[in-house]
Amino acid sequence: MPRQAPLRTIKRWKRYEPRNNWRLIPKSTRGLYVLYRQLGSAYEVRYIGVAGVSRSGGGGIRSRIKSHLAKKRGWSHFSLFEVHDNILKDEIRELEALLLGIFRHDSRIQLANKQKGSSKLYQLRKRTQWRTERSGR
């Protein structure tokens, strides 16, 4: 019987790797990544991104981090969270939207990619109605 993974979404992860270690990331690794700026012994989140890999096999977290080396300044380390093979690209984007939505207004984090949000999350919020009156339960 195959061993069950401890997490259903995340296959494996690395945290607080120096930016020059990007070459150690296997090609076509799919999932989420975070760019940080080291401040003493602490790390400040600078960017949250995703890489879903194209049908041609190109892309992945490795190539995204490599592209940030030239484009994005002010980061020194990265973390990556590789997803299982059965996780769809849209599901990876959903995770990104959720994280960006959580941290969007956090004054401790200086995100370079403060998106306005996910239209699918907004649609879900409109369809979900919470009872605002106390029901005694």
Give the up-direction half-sphere exposure of residue 121: CA atoms within 13 A in the CB hemisphere: 16
Rounded to 10 deg, the angle between the 119-127 and 89-103 helix axes is: 80
Residue 62 in contact with residue 26, Cβ under 8 Å?
Answer: yes
Chain-centroid distance, C-alpha 134:
37
pLDDT truncated to tens, each residue of the chain (137 aa)?
556 678 889 999 999 999 999 999 999 999 999 999 999 999 998 888 899 866 655 679 999 999 999 887 889 999 999 999 999 988 888 888 888 888 777 776 666 665 555 666 666 666 666 555 555 55
Sequence spans of domains, the chain: 10-127
CA distance 81 to 29: 9
Residue 99 in contact with residue 117, Cβ under 8 Å?
Answer: no
pTM score, whole prediction: 0.77
